[in-house]
Amino acid sequence: MRNNNSGFTLVEVLVAAIILFSALAMASEIYSSSSLFSNKARNTSQFYHESNVAITAIKSDVRYEFKQKTMQSSYEGVVLIGGTSFIWHANIISKVTRYPNLASTDIPKPRFGYYQIDVESDEEEGRGKGFTFEVFLWP
C-alpha cells in the first residue's frame, strides 16, 4: 500500500511561521527606528533654521537697545521664532574707544561695545538648547 499523504508537516509549518514572524518583526523595528531618527533630524534641522533667524532678530534687538540707551554692561530680551522662545542675555566683553588724537592728551570715552550673547531656547519637549555668539555694537 502506498501512502498518499502530501503537504507540510506540523514542524515545517511552525518553522516557516517563526521565520516569517521574525522577518516581520525586524522590518517593523527598522521602520520605527528610521521614523524616530527622521523625526530627530527634522527637529534638529528646524531648530538650526530657527536659531539662524533668532540670531538675526537678537542682533537687531541688541543694536536697537544699544542705540536707545547709553552703553550698558548687559541687555536681555526674548525673541519668539516659529513657536520657540529664545531668551537672550548680552554681557559686555570689552568697551572700545576710537583712536585718540595724537595731538591731544584726552582719552576719548568708549563708544563701541563688544558683547557676548548667551541664548537659551524654550522648546516644547522641555529640553532647551543653548548657544552663544558675539557681536560688535556701535552707535
Q: Cell 533668532 sits at which residue?
A: 54
pLDDT digits (tens, 9 = 90+) for 88-108: 999 999 988 877 667 777 777
**What local confidence, expressed as pLDDT, does residue 79 receive?**
94
pLDDT digits (tens, 9 = 90+) for 21-77: 999 999 999 999 999 999 999 988 988 899 999 999 999 999 998 888 777 889 999
Q: Give residue 82's pLDDT band: very low, low, confident or very high (50, 70, 90).
A: confident
Q: Give residue 4's pLDDT band: very low, low, confident or very high (50, 70, 90).
A: low
Bigger pLDDT: 134 or 110? 134
Strands (E), the chain: 74-81, 84-96, 112-122, 130-137
Cα distance between residue 89 and residue 8, in whole Å = 74
- Using DSSP, state whether 3 is helix, strand or coil: coil
Amino acid at 95: K
